[in-house]
Amino acid sequence: MSTVGGVSAGVLDQYQIKTETGGKEELGKNEFLNLLVAQLNNQNPLEPQGNGEFIAQLAQFSQVEGIEKLNTSMGSLVSGYQSSQALQASSLVGRKVIVPTDKAVVDTSESFKASLVLPASSSNVYVNIYDKSGSAVSRVNLGDQAAGNVSFIWDGKDSSGNLLPPGTYKFEAQATYAEGTKGLYTMLPANVDSVTLGGSELMLNLAGLGSVPMSQVQVIGQ
């Protein structure tokens, strides 16, 4: 009978990994420990296993056990994160969020409140408003403003004072400086219709605007 590392091959055969009949394809920690004990019990007394080899196998066993525990911990962590995402997602549906965009679905029967980001103070800040066809319908003049987030309100009326129909409007914020006019970022409200889970980030599906990642949300409203 042949030997492997001082242990008879017949003894080791019972610990071979089975792959033909749907058995395990990986050696778990229990199988590894059983194999190690079998090696010790069946080693050749004339050629005992060296201390160095035995210590190396114990270290390998510890590594296998550590990896299994790590995988279990990571699985629990991922499961908890996904549950948290699902809970957060369900609480957002039907609420308003503030996101960096230049378009918004506006109910013109109510005052539309939004804001813009002004990187440096300007003596002339204003917001041009366009309808869905691209025609300019109104302007909100904000005058002299200090750097920072600047709030503005649109009453839903055109430049002649006529109430406009509800719909999607584009907001183009600009500021005048000595070197010329610069465009500004606008922060506009939007309703969350639904959410999409999966991937690396939670995605919000906003009414009339499409999908935006959760990381872009600046404020969550009522």
User: Which residues lie below 8 Å from residue 189, measured CB to CB, with a gap of 6+?
Assistant: 96, 97, 98, 104, 113, 114, 221
User: Which residues lie below 8 Å from residue 96, measured CB to CB, with a gap of 6+?
Assistant: 189, 190, 191, 192, 220, 221, 222
Domain boundary among 65, 92, 119: 92
Domain, as residue range, for 29: 3-92
In a domain, 211, yes or no: no
Please, which pLDDT band fits residue 47 given cuts at 50, 70 and 90? Answer: low
The size of the chain, in residues, is: 222
Amino acid 49: pLDDT: 56
Model confidence at 15: pLDDT above 60: no
Amino acid 52: pLDDT: 59
Model confidence at 93: pLDDT above 90: no
- Hey, is 100 helix, strand or coil? strand
- 14/38 same-domain check: yes
More confident residue, 18 or 119: 119
Q: How many domains does the chain have?
A: 2
Q: What count of other Cβ atoms lies within 10 Å of the Cβ of residue 61?
A: 15
- 129/68 same-domain check: no
Identify the CA nearest to 135 among candidates 167, 165, 170: 170
Domain boundary among 31, 58, 92: 92
In a domain, 219, yes or no: no
Please, which pLDDT band fits residue 20 given cuts at 50, 70 and 90? Answer: very low
- 144/74 same-domain check: no
pLDDT in tens, 164-213: 999 999 999 999 999 999 999 999 999 999 888 766 677 889 988 888 88
